[in-house]
Amino acid sequence: MFSNEPKRISLARLPTPIQKLEKLIALFGGPELYIKRDDLTGIGLSGNKVRKLEYLLADAKDQGADTLITCGGIQSNHSRATAIAATQNGMDSVLVLRGKRETPYDGNVLLDKLVGAEIRLVTPEQYAQRIDQIMEQVGQELRDQGRRPYVIPEGGSNPIGVWGYIRASGEIKDQLEEMNLKVDAVVTAVGSGGTQAGLLIGGKLSDLGARVVGFNVCDTAKHFQARIGRLVAETIEKYALPCQIFPDEILLVDGYVGRGYALSRPQELKLIKTVARQEGVFLDPVYTGKALFGLADQIRRGRFKKGEKILFLHTGGIFGLFVQEKREGLFPGKA
């Protein structure tokens, strides 16, 4: 496959399909749209994080870890996938989540609790200022008890996790070749940057020839250009990868964070309903709903043109729909 690829275990159901979104193409009236269904990598283990975890768990196992520690928002998809992957591989998990309370056990938290993850809550301030230190402290506490913890950073976005989408790019390349299709752009939601970093590197290594466009669902485009730039550079250096990514290739579209991370606007929820009704595809409110909303708006504004072909990466997140507040937003007074 790729030179210097680190060890990997199999967690995801691969390859995930690529489908044409006929109805949305007609509705948006612009470029040809395709969707890469990484929401179908599994049930509990669904979404983009599973590809990263294939490499991170291989590393954790190599180090003899017995407990995975990671972090995220209270409804973190990454934490849910990590907790399930831990259980499936005979490990425990501690999730350091940003939030006031665990209850009600809905969405991802329900699955976290079902697989027996330990949840530790932190405030937004603690999370913003020192989440890595907090996870280190949890690690130390476990080591003092004779455990062997392995810390996975936010979103699994480190040079090991980036391999998930380096490898996925090769999968995309093979599928597109088989479909006799060439896409101009691959579009993804961005939350911690690892997916876009992997797509950028993998796109070069696989000679995909498509630009990679990210829609950030928190922070700013500028923040992610720098963060992804660092992650790309670290990964290329650590694995001596034969490619180069220039700053102007790290494309992010600002302006679609909306009310803030994990907060929905009525127009975003409306699009989620439209996509469900037109295509039978379920977007999530935190990532893919916002990214596709942004893409549709950018198509309307002429950034993506008729004749172009776009591959939208469905990065998963379905359990975000099963959170009371989102149900209320989708069906007011009925949820």
Ligand X SMILES: Cc1ncc(COP(=O)(O)O)c(C=O)c1O
Q: Is 71 helix (H, G, I), strand (E, B) or coil?
A: strand
- DSSP per-residue string spanning 78-105: HHHHHHHHHHHTT-EEEEEEESS---S-
- State yes or no: is 46 an active-site residue: no
User: Minimal distance in Å, beta carbon 322 to ligand X?
Assistant: 13
Considering the rule CB under 6 A, would residue 192 count as an interface residue with ligand X? yes
Of the candidate residues 317, 321, 329, 330, the single one contacting ligand X (CB under 6 A): 317
List the x/- string, 275-304, binding to ligand X by CB under 6 A: ---------x--xx----------------
Q: Total number of residues binding ligand X (CB under 6 A)?
A: 20
List the x/- string, 152-191, binding to ligand X by CB under 6 A: ---x-x-------------------------------xxx
Q: Is 215 helix (H, G, I), strand (E, B) or coil?
A: strand
User: Minimal distance in Å, beta carbon 77 to ligand X?
Assistant: 3
Integer Cα distance of 53 and 283 in angstroms? 22
User: Minimal distance in Å, beta carbon 203 to ligand X?
Assistant: 15
User: Minimal distance in Å, beta carbon 290 to ligand X?
Assistant: 9
Of the candidate residues 70, 169, 195, 298, the single one contacting ligand X (CB under 6 A): 195
User: Minimal distance in Å, beta carbon 263 to ligand X?
Assistant: 15
**Which of the stretches 91-99, 118-126, 313-321, 323-331 binds ligand X when contact is defined by CB under 6 A?**
313-321
Dihedral angle over CA of 106, 109, 319, 188, nearest 10: 140
The letter for the amino acid at 215 is F
Buried b (16+ CB within 10 A) or exposed e, 247-257: eeebbbbeebb
Integer Cα distance of 300 and 62 in angstroms? 49
Compare residues 149 and 191 and give the one whose CB is closer to ligand X.
191
Using only the alpha carbons of the chain, give its radius of gyration. 19
Of 32, 46, 19, the residue nearest 295 (C-alpha) = 32
Integer Cα distance of 180 and 309 in angstroms? 12
**Which of the stretches 43-51, 135-143, 240-248, 259-267 binds ligand X when contact is defined by CB under 6 A?**
43-51
**Which of the stretches 95-103, 111-119, 243-251, 312-320 binds ligand X when contact is defined by CB under 6 A?**
312-320
User: Minimal distance in Å, beta carbon 146 to ligand X?
Assistant: 32
Of 227, 208, 129, the residue nearest 167 (C-alpha) = 208
List the x/- string, 232-261, binding to ligand X by CB under 6 A: ------------------------------
List the x/- string, 46-75, binding to ligand X by CB under 6 A: -xxx--------------------------
Scanning 208-334, the segments in alpha helix (DSSP H) are 221-238, 266-279, 288-300, 324-330
Catalytic position from the list 3, 10, 46, 76: 76
User: Minimal distance in Å, beta carbon 49 to ligand X?
Assistant: 6
Compare residues 21 and 71 and give the one whose CB is closer to ligand X.
71
Compare residues 142 and 199 and give the one whose CB is closer to ligand X.
199
**Which of the stretches 10-18, 57-65, 237-245, 314-322 binds ligand X when contact is defined by CB under 6 A?**
314-322
Buried b (16+ CB within 10 A) or exposed e, 210-221: bebbbbbbbbeb
Of 193, 202, 300, the residue nearest 252 (C-alpha) = 193
Helix axes 288-300, 266-279, angle to 10 degrees: 90
What is the binding site for ligand X (CB under 6 A)? Answer: 47-49, 77-78, 155, 157, 189-195, 284, 287-288, 315-317
Catalytic residues: 76
